[in-house]
Amino acid sequence: MDRRLALVRRPSPLLADGLVTHIERTPVDVDLAVRQWQGYVDALVDQGWQVIEAPPADACPDGVFIEDPVFVHRDLAVLMRSGAPERRGETEGLADVLTAQGYRIAAIEEPGTMDGGDILTHGDQVWVGVGGRTNQAGVDQLAVLLSELGATVTAVPTTKALHLKSAVTALPDGTVIGYEPVVDDPTTWPGFLAMPEEPGAHVVLLGDDRLLMSAAAPESTGLLAARGLDVVTVDISEFEKLEACVTCLSVRLRGPA
Ligand SMILES: NC(=O)NCCC[C@H](N)C(=O)O
């Protein structure tokens, strides 16, 4: 893995009003969420990652889910246009932060919509979930932007979960893991590996076969440890009440430096 730099954004005081689509709303303890967010940041730092903060987006309840308003690939940062209009203000301030880190900036434009949580990558293979937040026009725009970088974009129907990466993520060797009840078509990925818990489908790659996962997936964590992976866990219960997962709390900035 190249440089270890991660972008995060601290939780808004309005976090408890974040969107909920596929699960029942339960009360969020914002103070606990702030402590859990700090624990997540500390875990990244403990694993050798430098962390930079995006400007706060206090007026945006879901602003902490920084994975959704921007996607980075090689030296390109693509500002998203969420299918949830409530989330579109979250791109503010990101272009400056990413330009300062050496990225070129592009953007998904109307009529395209896309959330970063719908974008799964392994090397230059990119799968994009088309569903509640991302449409085909958005996929077409991303495909053009990424083709210049040699990446191939494949659209994947995503009807059972908020985002594609709510359903599946990829291990360091490219094996796609997922929680089958919310995966539209597991045969999209040869060698698909089913996980027994929904949060067990979510991994952040920390480098050197090390993964960051939710503490809410002990069986899945055990399965992955048995495959020789080194798993670090964090408690993100308050964010999970808002349909979020470990991936959405950071954006790893591995290029272009
Ligand atoms: N990439 C992600 O998994 N993002 C989670 C976003 C949760 C937020 N409450 C939303 O519904 O947009």
- What pLDDT score does 16 carry? 98
Per-residue pLDDT at 55: 98
Structure letter (DSSP) for residue 91: G
Q: How far is the CA of 65 from the centre of ligand 1 (A)?
A: 6
Distance CA(176)–CA(170), nearest Å, equals: 4
Alpha-carbon gap, residue 136 to 157, rounded angstroms: 10
- The length of the chain is 257
**Residue 3, pLDDT above cutoff 90:** no
Label residue 189 by pLDDT band (50, 70, 90).
very high
Asked whether the predicted pLDDT for residue 213 surpasses 60, the reply is yes
Question: Residue 256: what pLDDT?
Answer: 76
248 is catalytic: yes
119-153 pLDDT, tens digit each: 999 999 999 999 999 999 999 999 999 999 999 99
Is this complex's ipTM strictly greater than 0.95? yes
Cα separation, 205 vs 207, in Å, equals 6
Distance 115 CA to ligand 1 centre (A): 9
Residues 39/64, Cβ–Cβ less than 8 Å: no
State percent of the chain over pLDDT 70: 99
Give residue 70's pLDDT: 98
Residue 168: per-residue pLDDT = 98
Ligand 1: distance of its center to the CA of 61 in Å?
A: 10
Average pLDDT estimate for 172-200: 98
Residue minimizing CA distance to atom 3 of ligand 1: 244
Q: pLDDT digits over 228-254, tens only? A: 999 999 999 999 999 999 999 999 998
**Ligand 1 shell residues, CB under 6 Å:** 18-19, 21, 62, 65, 67-68, 84, 87, 117, 162-163, 165-166, 242-245, 247-248
Of residues 60, 73, 163, 245, which has the active-site annotation? Answer: 163
**Looking at residue 257, what is its pLDDT?**
56
Which atom of ligand 1 lies nearest, measured to the CA of 116?
Answer: 1
Set 60, 73, 202, 248: catalytic member: 248
For residue 166, which atom of ligand 1 is closest to its CA? Answer: 3
Residue 27: pLDDT over 70: yes
- Contact call for residues 135 and 113 (beta carbons, < 8 A): yes
Q: What is the number of other CB atoms lying within 10 angstroms of the CB of residue 125? A: 14
Per-residue pLDDT, 255: 75
d(CA 23, CA 166): 12
- Cβ within 8 Å of residue 117, ≥6 positions away: 65, 67, 68, 133, 162, 163, 164, 165, 166, 247, 248
pLDDT exceeds 70 at position 1: no
Q: How deeply is 22 buried, as exposed, middle or buried, from its count of CB atoms within 10 A (0-12, 13-18, 19+)?
A: exposed
Q: Is the peptide bond before 111 cis (omega within 30 degrees of 0)?
A: yes
Q: How far is the CA of 99 from the centre of ligand 1 (A)?
A: 25
Containing 230, the helix (H) or strand (E) segment is strand 230-234
- What are 77-111's pLDDT values in tens digits? 999 999 999 999 999 999 999 999 999 999 999 99
| Mean pLDDT for the stretch of residues 171-187 | 98
Q: Which of 68, 39, 34 is nearest to 51 (CA)?
A: 39
Kindly report the protein residue whose alpha carbon is nearest to atom 12 of ligand 1.
19
Active site residue 245: no
**How many angstroms is it from 152 CA to the middle of ligand 1?**
25
Say how far apart CA 12 and CA 166 lie, in whole Å.
22
